[in-house]
Structure 1
Amino acid sequence: MYSLVGAREIMQNLVVLTSAEGATPHTFPELRRAYRALLLATPRRELGEDPSFVGDGDELAELVRGFDLPQRQGDGATPAPAWRLEKAVSGWRHLRQQDEALGTIAATVVGTVFVTGADWAGSMSDHKHIGTVWLMPGRSWHMAEVTEAYVHELTHTLLFLDERRYGHFLPGSANVRVRSAIRQDDREYPGVVHSMLVAAELLDWRVRHHIPDEACRRLHGPTAALRMRAAEAHEQIVAEDRRHNLLTPRMRELVERAGHTLYAPAQA
């Protein structure tokens, strides 16, 4: 989303969504307060720059109960080890240092990051819990990979918000299955569209920040392979939309813009 439409349009989405529930916010602090009161799944208690990082206690147990976590051994509310929580915090700070505009957006739309002691690595967000991110850095992850996990989940979050404003998918889209750009498994069409847009965002991030494969290949794979998988997913998405009319004009526009990201570098 960020590389496709820019920070200004993303913030305009927030203004429109918060205005639909009451008075239009006219300053950035007003916008942040309105967003957190009306749209954030887990409201923040204060207007700090960073999200709440939760790694233990009753709050962690509550987040785990409410989040649709993958069913894997150890996914319960086991307290996060100190090294994992430290990686989550450091990755967030690195994101904000690397890109000031994206960091400001992240600080606005993400209210809670929770980390558990589960025995696997990855990340997750959910449209039912906008602004909450489950982040699970691996012990061997480089800082670039922790940051990519945030870019990944932030892209989902911004898409959830954009969909609230415009709508993204037409009836019947969930009945179509295509291959994912990230996991490479057969998934419902809307999920694959999200995965392709996430891949396009990650590719743009890597190019802009000159990130080598050795710094980021554990989480999303080498850049060339990620680009190939994303391009294949893009082709399927476009073909199925032409066949069945699955996308709204807004999402069709986003898919088209992502195609420029995926194909233009290879043609240069």
Structure 2
Amino acid sequence: MILQSSLNEQLNNIIYTVIKRSDLNIENINNTDMLKKIYHKYLYLKQNRSIDFSKNIRVIIENEITMKLKEQFDGLGESDLDDLNQKNVIIPIEDHLLKEKKIKIENAIEKLREISEDHYALLNILITDIFIMPSNIASGGSSSECIGLVWANPKISHPTIDIVEFLIHEMTHNCMFIDEHNHLHYNYEKILLKENWAMSAILKKPRPIDKVLHSIIVSTEILLLRDKIIGHPNKPKVHPPTKLLKEQTIISINSLENIFLKNENINNLITSRAIDLLNNSKSILINI
């Protein structure tokens, strides 16, 4: 969400989360390295997840570790928020391309460092681990159950810049998780009702409002990344071409706003913070 706000705003969001949800001392945070250490300690305490504090993002393919991370990634029990049955997307089977996939992810992280210092800096603070496991359905994902952890299943044939888009995609989801911790976004009791579902910008299917808002914010960040940093690709692999992605995002916004019109009080569904994020995306799309 850097290009929709700023690096400082996202760093402050992380700081506020640590302040609100822990007793950790934040008085000594005077640089990003200190923020990273304290935030990672916060994740360790909250998630009871092993984190290597001495390194940048770990890209993990070792089976024993990835299986444990998958369990944490999936969370506990069934959830009404899991409308796509994401728990069954990752397949714990042997993958002979793990080493090649790890190289793809590491090359994309290095490429991100070359093209955007701000995105690279935030990625290395926000995301602690990327674990690679196969799937027949998806190329990866993030979970509100385990902020800071990303699951990846990149295609070997995809160009590095497409994997960069994947990294920005998942980092934006994690930024949204953090933002919701601080500001709250939804009334979950209301948004789970199917009459309040709207059209997703990326999957192009009706989904709960939280997933739809995420898709809009993620799509907007990808469009800005292309517009301001990497250029608009002719044949992108991970996301649709720019014109189509923009059209889908606008359709998603309109779909969401139609749901709001059907409700007497929009605040019964989402908060003013979520509305601000949506309106910001709308204003950005006009100029892309």
TM-score normalised to structure 2 length:
0.85
Which of 71, 74, 92 aligns to 1:76? It is 92
**Residue in structure 1 matched with residue 62 of structure 2 by the alignment:** 56
Contact 1:52 / 1:111 at 8 angstroms: preserved in 2? yes
Letter in 2 for 1:24: I
Q: Secondary structure of the equivalent of 2:59?
A: strand
- 2-side partners of 1:159 and 1:143: how far apart? 25
| 1:30-41 equivalent positions in 2, closer than 5 A | 30-39=34-43, 41=47
Which of 192, 195, 207 aligns to 2:215? It is 195
- 2-side partners of 1:61 and 1:191: how far apart? 26
Contact 1:56 / 1:78 at 8 angstroms: preserved in 2? no
**Percent of pairs with identical residues:** 19
- 1-side partners of 2:174 and 2:50: how far apart? 15
Would you say how many aligned residue pairs link Structure 1 and Structure 2?
262
**Residue in structure 2 matched with residue 153 of structure 1 by the alignment:** 170
**Residue in structure 2 matched with residue 207 of structure 1 by the alignment:** 227
Report the CA distance between 1:97 and its aligned residue: 1.8
Which of 253, 259, 275 aligns to 1:234? It is 253
Are 2:11 and 1:15 equivalent residues in the alignment? no
Which of 40, 53, 61 aligns to 1:46? It is 53
Contact 1:178 / 1:192 at 8 angstroms: preserved in 2? yes
Change (3 A) 1:58 1:210: closer
| 1:130-169 equivalent positions in 2, closer than 5 A | 130-169=147-186
- 1-side partners of 2:197 and 2:134: how far apart? 33
Report the CA distance between 1:259 and its aligned residue: 0.4
Report the CA distance between 1:93 and its aligned residue: 1.4
What are the Cα deviations for residues 138-191 of structure 1, in whole angstroms up to 9, with x where unaligned? 121111110000010000000000000000112412222111100111111110
Report the CA distance between 1:70 and its aligned residue: 4.9
Contact 1:123 / 1:136 at 8 angstroms: preserved in 2? yes
- 1-side partners of 2:254 and 2:286: how far apart? 11
Q: Secondary structure of the equivalent of 2:185?
A: coil
Which of 112, 115, 120 aligns to 1:103? It is 120
Q: Which stretch shows the higher mean deviation, 60-69 or 162-171?
A: 60-69
Letter in 2 for 1:114: F
Report the CA distance between 1:121 and its aligned residue: 5.0
What are the Cα deviations for residues 10-53 of structure 1, in whole angstroms up to 9, with x where unaligned? 111111111232222422333212211113543422232x2111
Are 2:173 and 1:173 equivalent residues in the alignment? no
Report the CA distance between 1:120 and its aligned residue: 5.2
- 2-side partners of 1:195 and 1:251: how far apart? 13
**Residue in structure 2 matched with residue 249 of structure 1 by the alignment:** 272
Q: Secondary structure of the equivalent of 1:264?
A: coil
**Residue in structure 1 matched with residue 239 of structure 2 by the alignment:** 220
Letter in 1 for 2:30: T
Letter in 2 for 1:254: L
Are 2:105 and 1:88 equivalent residues in the alignment? yes
- 1-side partners of 2:260 and 2:50: how far apart? 37
Q: Which stretch shows the higher mean deviation, 58-67 or 191-200?
A: 58-67
Task: Return 5+ residue gaps in structure 2 as ranges.
Answer: 75-85
Change (3 A) 1:43 1:256: farther
TM-score normalised to structure 1 length:
0.91
Change (3 A) 1:65 1:262: same
Contact 2:172 / 2:218 at 8 angstroms: preserved in 1? yes
Q: Which stretch shows the higher mean deviation, 112-121 or 125-134?
A: 112-121
Report the CA distance between 1:96 and its aligned residue: 2.0
What are the Cα deviations for residues 220-261 of structure 1, in whole angstroms up to 9, with x where unaligned? 111100000000101122232343212211111110000012
Task: Return 5+ residue gaps in structure 1 as ranges.
Answer: none
Q: Secondary structure of the equivalent of 2:192?
A: helix
Contact 1:145 / 1:215 at 8 angstroms: preserved in 2? no
Change (3 A) 1:17 1:78: same
Letter in 1 for 2:122: I
Change (3 A) 1:150 1:159: same
